Amino acid sequence: MILTWICFYDVIIAVVAIAAGIAAAHFELIAPFSGFQLMLAGLAFAALGLVCGLIAVPMTLFSAKRRPARGRALISTFVCVGLLVPIIMVLWQTSQYPLINDITTDTDHPPVFVKAIELQPQPGRDMTYNPQVAAIQKAAPAYSALAPLKMAGPPAEVFAKAAILAGRIPTWLITRNDPQTHTLEGIATSGLFRFHDDFIIEVRPADGGGSLVEMRSKSRDGKGDLGANYHRIMSFLNIMKTGPQTPPPGSAQVQP
């Protein structure tokens, strides 16, 4: 039965493309976004296979002539479902985040990247903060809790703490540590596809005393981030406020 074989071969192509995309990106054989695109291509084949399977399975159930293909149709369809369901769940859980990937605690006066401009894989990439992005962030309920962290102590003291804690995060590479301006810049690397996101942390004097910890995080790839930059900022601000529950293994290196 043609539909059964189409479903079967779609599943094979989907599994190979998804596995190859993830593995190649994770082990840095190809660019992270290329691996992600290869995975998306595999998911497209899985979706096509699912459509064929949903048509083929009933046909094998009610036709004695096609009944020998039932097992292949059922297995292929279930594999397609297994490939697509996790992605659908991720999209559903992150649907509240708009299609932006540059997040900051201060949309009016965001921290300005300096070192990150030199380290972009695409020379001349614009790293300025887009006012349109600010409007989208302000309007999104998902970012309502995002705000600068106010801490007791002068900026120099709070910055020293921020530098120590940021340096302990194993997936972060600190690229700039400027005690004079109380600014840290770095690169955060994701676990699966090894995406690189640029971040900057600034400690500013607060009105009435104390300090404000400001942070901005921007993805290098894609248009959206599924909330990754928001969670990175919130996680670090929480670490600054409460301290790490356990010392993170390893430490980030400082790039000259």
pLDDT at res. 253: 41
Q: H/E/C letters for each residue in the chain?
A: CHHHHHHHHHHHHHHHHHHHHHHHHHCCCCCHHHHHHHHHHHHHHHHHHHHHHHHHHHHHHHCCCCHHHHHHHHHHHHHHHHHHHHHHHHHHHCCCCCCCCEEECCCCCCCCCCHHHHCCCCCCCCCCCCHHHHHHHHHCHHHCCCCCEEECCCHHHHHHHHHHHHHCCCCEEEEEEECCCCEEEEEEECCCCCCEEEEEEEEEECCCCCEEEEEEEEECCCCCCCCHHHHHHHHHHHHHHHCCCCCCCCCCCECC
How far apart CA 2 and CA 29 sit, in angstroms, is 36
Q: Are 192 and 26 in contact (CB under 8 A)?
A: yes
127-139 in b/e form (b: 16+ CB < 10 A) is bebeeebbebbee
> 18 is written with which tokens?
């998804």
pLDDT at res. 1: 66
The packing angle between helices 228-242 and 155-167, to 10°, is: 120
Put simply, whether the predicted model's pTM sits higher than 0.85 gets the answer: yes
pLDDT tens, N- to C-terminus, the chain (256 residues): 688 889 999 999 999 999 999 999 999 999 999 999 999 999 999 999 999 999 988 888 777 677 778 888 899 999 999 999 999 999 999 999 999 999 999 999 999 999 999 999 988 899 999 999 999 999 999 999 999 999 999 999 999 999 999 999 999 999 999 999 999 999 999 999 999 999 999 999 999 999 999 999 999 999 999 999 999 999 999 999 997 644 443 334 444 3
Q: Angle 216-221-227 (CA atoms, 0-180°, nearest 5)?
A: 50
> 210 is written with which tokens?
């104390």
Q: Are 111 and 216 in contact (CB under 8 A)?
A: yes
